[in-house]
Every structure is written in structure tokens, then in C-alpha cells.
Structure 1
Amino acid sequence: LGRIQIKKTDGTLILNSLNASDSNASIKGLEFDKSLIKYQMYYSGNAECNDKGYVYLFFPDPNNLNQMKLTFMQEPDIIVSCPSGYKTL
């Protein structure tokens, strides 16, 4: 299970799920890839606006375990009921 805090570069808070309960965690772990280098998770922030998809967590340099990288692959889907102006995180 994962929780996330997202801020703009100016420090403005966009999303904070750090205090979410386990049942409401927006990130759920799935599995390691076949090479055991990347860990695959599923993110669902606002499914109605297609704000969902797979997150991959990995160390870009296996010799430096102090820096991790996240990659988000949004699910291709048709948005039906998203409020005007909504932007996917």
C-alpha cells in the first residue's frame, strides 16, 4: 500500500493521501518485473477522470539506493464524466 503527496514546484499542495487508511490507499503494490528491477503498483486517484494507471518504482543507479524514480503509465480510456478543467495528476 502506498500514500502520496504531490506538490507544484512552488510548494502548492495538489494531493495528499499520507493520512489515508489502508482501505483508501491510492497506490496498491502488485509485483516485481521479471528482472526484479522495477516494482509495479496501481494508482487510482480519480477513476472517473481516467486518473489511474500503473506506477513503476525503481533505482536508476543500482549502486545508489538513496535515489528512486517513479514512472506513471496512465491507462488508455475514454473519459465520460470528468468536471470541466480537471487535470490528471
Structure 2
Amino acid sequence: MNLRAKTASVLGAAAIATASLVAMPGTAHAAYPKCDSAKNITTADGTFRQPYYTGTGSRNCVMGSGYTSPGVVVLQVVLNDCYARDLVVDGV
């Protein structure tokens, strides 16, 4: 699997998990912090950026409508690159 496919797979899974968590009642959503930054992850296929929560360094975090952060920028870039979207990369 190439880097683009891996990145799309990781972020796609995060987006699906985020969508299901955002749709849940408040207590389930509160179990995960908001993704507030992004970090480089290196694999055998190369290096890519991934959203995470700076408080714990965990990648188990959520993004939802109205969120702003470097993590959102990473998601927007990947959606544009891997899925031929035309999103404005503004972090919102």
C-alpha cells in the first residue's frame, strides 16, 4: 500500500470514527478529546502528518463541525489530495 493510500486509510477511519462519535450523546463524545494539533508519523512507506491531542499525545481524538486546529488542516489536505476534493485549507 503506498503512502497516499495509507494516509487516506488512516484519516478515513478517523473521519468515520469521528462522525459516529459526534452523532452520539454527549457522554460518549466526551470520552475523547478534541484533536488540537498534528505530528509527523514515519512508516516504511514514508512520513505523513496525523492529527493528535497534545494533552496526552494520543491519536485517539475527534474532529467535528466547527473545530479549528492544525489537525483539521491535515485532514483537509488529505481529502484534497487523495479524494480530489476542492476544500479550502483553512483549518476550520
TM-score in terms of structure 1 length:
0.24
Larger Rg: 1
- Which fold has the larger relative contact order, with Cα–Cα distance below 8 Å and residues 6 or more apart in sequence? 2
Q: Which has the higher helix share?
A: 2
Q: TM-score, normalised by structure 2?
A: 0.24
